[in-house]
Amino acid sequence: MASKPNSSGRSDDRRIAVLLLALPLGLLAATLIVPMISAINISLRDIRVIGSDGPFAGFDNYARVLTDGTFWHALGISVVWVVGNAVVQTILALTAALVLNEKFPGVRVARVWIILTWIIPTVVVVIIWRWLLSPSGGMVNPLLIQLGIIDRPMGFFASGPAAMTSLILINSWRWFPFVAIMLLAGLQRIPNDIYEAAAVDGAGAVARFRAITWPLLQPTLLVLTVMGTLLSFNVFDIIWLLTAGGPAGGTETLPVLIYETAFKAYRMGDAAAMSVVASVLMIGLALVLLDRLAPKETGR
């Protein structure tokens, strides 16, 4: 380590690192790894109602879960959910970030208050949108009719695709400002003189975006995509509270299916097996994606 001129630096570093990391890593191990091990144990047993015990079943639960269509169906729904959220949020957030990166009267205020929707608890988001989308007092239907987009009230959760679209938009409404602020931070890291040089060279706004903004924003975007993918894959409450996976399984993502299997169908063993498979998939995905970022991460 450079800050210590003497040579004892490295072993010293190691000792301090152990001390410093014991607590954060210990907490994560206790609240993530230990429960995960317990979940693996359950997944190998024929356990029905949570808390009861069951005989060892080997990989029976895995075999049943993986050969059953519902698991793959839910995985497919999850992919749609994750990709939909990623696309919608990235577009909205990037637009917002580009706008907020400009100079206009009130931009300082806007940069703070764009975040408003992110600080609302999910339950409140659900209340707000259930009401806004309902035909009894909701504003969205009349507004869309006024704008001539639809000619009579529509059901925003009436079919699988409609419900999925509504859910993605609602979830994105809540999350895009946060992503926007993160992207804004990334944008501000791009030195102004690059743009000025490009402007002098006669590059238009679109050309500047393609040549400078987009490539230089990549690292931030990549991390946010990884995080966003993992976080939105895990989203449970907003789906559960708005559609509970319906209609007709149209929004039944993997976490919803796992919850239903555990607490509605009372097949804890199956639910645990699905969980383990889902975790393995997610961890694999995370490692692959992070591997591409990691070298730049801890280094300087």
Partner 1 sequence: MRFKGQSLAGALALTVFGALPALAVTDVKIWHMEQPPHRVQRVQELIDAFNAANPDIKVSQEPQSWGEVYAKVPAAMAAGNAPDILFAIPDFTTVIRKAGQLDSVADFVKELDEKHHFIPATVEPYSYDGGVWAVPLYNMSLNFWYHKKAFADAGIAVPTTWSEWKAAAEKLSKDGVVGVGLPANKQLYTDQTTYAVMVNNGASELFNADGTLRFDNPKTVESYAFYKDLYKFSSPDAANWTWGEAEACFASETCASILQFSVISTYDQQGGGDAADLGVAAVPHADGEKSSSTIAYSNAAIILAKDAAKRDAAKKFIAFLLEPENYGKFLNMEPGLFLPVTADGAKSTTFWSDPLVVKYKPQVEQMIANSHAGMLFGFTGGHVFPAIGPISAQNILAETLQKVVINGEDPAAAVKAGQAQMIEATK
Partner 2 sequence: MKRGPLSWLVLALAVFALAFVVLAPMWLVGTSSFKLPREIINRVPTWFPHSFTLQHYQKLLQTSAFPTYFLNSVLVAASSAFVTVILALMAGYAFFRLEFRGRDFLYRLIMVAYAFPSIVILIPIYLMFAKVGLIDTDLALVLVNVTFALPFSIWMMRTFFASLPRELEEAAAIDGAGRWKTVVHVLIPLLRPGIAAIAIFAFVASWTEYLFASVLIISDAKRTLPVGLSGIIGQYQIDWGLLLAGASLSVLPVIVFFAFVGRWFVAGLTEGAVK
Distance CA 274, CA 287 (A): 20
Q: Choosing among partner 2, partner 1, none, which partner's interface includes residue 114 (Cβ < 5 to 8 Å by kind)?
A: partner 2
Q: Choosing among partner 2, partner 1, none, which partner's interface includes residue 266 (Cβ < 5 to 8 Å by kind)?
A: partner 1
In the bound state with partner 1, the residue whose beta carbon lies nearer, of 219 and 249, is 249
Q: In the bound complex, what is the minimum distance in angstroms from residue 68's beta carbon to partner 1? A: 9
Written as one string, the DSSP assignment of 171-191 is HHHHHHHHHHHHHHHHHHTS-
Helix (H, G, I), strand (E, B) or coil at 56: strand
Please name every residue paired with 45 in a beta bridge, in sequence order, or none if there are none: 56
**Nearest of 76, 80, 47, 45 to residue 60 by alpha carbon:** 45
Radius of gyration of the chain (CA): 24
Q: Choosing among partner 2, partner 1, none, which partner's interface includes residue 16 (Cβ < 5 to 8 Å by kind)?
A: partner 2
Q: Could you say which residues in the range 156-175 bind partner 1, by CB under 8 A?
A: 156-160, 163
Stretch that binds partner 1, among 6-14, 77-85, 126-134, 181-189 (CB under 8 A): 126-134
Q: In the bound complex, what is the minimum distance in angstroms from residue 281's beta carbon to partner 1? A: 24
In the bound state with partner 1, the residue whose beta carbon lies nearer, of 155 and 219, is 155
Q: Of the candidates 117, 134, 165, 279, which one interacts with partner 1 according to CB under 8 A?
A: 134
Q: Could you say which residues in the range 231-260 bind partner 1, by CB under 8 A?
A: 240-249, 259-260
Q: In the bound complex, what is the minimum distance in angstroms from residue 84's beta carbon to partner 1? A: 19
Place of tokens 């988001």: 125
Q: In the bound complex, what is the minimum distance in angstroms from residue 236's beta carbon to partner 1? A: 12
Place of tokens 């931009």: 107
| Cβ contact 95:277 at 8 Å | no
Stretch that binds partner 1, among 2-10, 96-104, 148-156, 223-231 (CB under 8 A): 148-156
| Cβ contact 255:236 at 8 Å | yes
Q: Choosing among partner 2, partner 1, none, which partner's interface includes residue 67 (Cβ < 5 to 8 Å by kind)?
A: none
By rule CB under 8 A, what count of residues binds partner 1?
37
In the chain the first and final C-alpha atoms are separated, in Å, by 13
**Nearest of 119, 100, 125 to residue 180 by alpha carbon:** 100
Count CB-CB contacts under 10 A for residue 57: 17
Q: In the bound complex, what is the minimum distance in angstroms from residue 46's beta carbon to partner 2? A: 16
Q: Of the candidates 24, 69, 105, 137, which one interacts with partner 1 according to CB under 8 A?
A: 137
DSSP label at 190? S
What are the backbone angles phi and psi of residue 235, rounded to the nearest 5°?
Answer: -60, 125
The contact set with partner 1 (CB under 8 A) reads: 48-52, 130, 133-137, 153-160, 163, 240-249, 259-260, 262-266
